[in-house]
Amino acid sequence: MSKAALGGTPGPGWSFAVVLTGQDGFSPDQARGFQPLSEDFQFGVCTPEAVAAANPICAVDPTTVPKAMDILTPDGTAQADVLNPLNPAVVIPAVTIP
């Protein structure tokens, strides 16, 4: 993509939301999904240790987990807090260029 496609050169005041997913060429949205525990070609919501410890996140329906493996967050914002599927809604914050 050229800078012109953005309507100008990114600079101070511009904001970006960046999300990394796992690619899956066979799913409708092309993003790899989650299962309770990891499987071939599926990410796991929990580890066996987390299941044994009765971590509440392990009870979440895996089809409702955000299909995000990594995100950029603004200073002072924890990635784990943003992507926590126990939250009422997952909203990816934008990071503003200073």
Domain boundaries of the chain, sorted by first residue: 3-96
Q: Which residue has the tokens 């600079």?
A: 11
State how far the Cα of 52 lies from the Cα of 72, in Å rounded to an integer.
31
| Per-residue pLDDT reduced to its tens digit, 28-81 | 999 999 999 999 989 999 999 999 999 999 999 999 999 999 999 999 999 999
Identify the pLDDT of residue 2: 74
Query: Which residues on neighbouring strands pair with residue 42, listed in sequence order?
Result: 39
Strands 43-46 and 34-37: parallel
Residue 3 has pLDDT above 80, yes or no: no
Helix (H) or strand (E) holding 95: strand 95-96
Average pLDDT over residues 4-32: 89
Residue 89 has pLDDT above 80, yes or no: yes
Q: What six digits make up the tokens of 77?
A: 């914002």
Residue 4 has pLDDT above 80, yes or no: no
Q: CA torsion 9→12→15→20, rounded to 10°?
A: 70
Identify the pLDDT of residue 1: 65
State how far the Cα of 19 lies from the Cα of 31, in Å rounded to an integer.
11
State how far the Cα of 30 lies from the Cα of 62, in Å rounded to an integer.
17
pTM: 0.78
Residue 11 has pLDDT above 90, yes or no: no
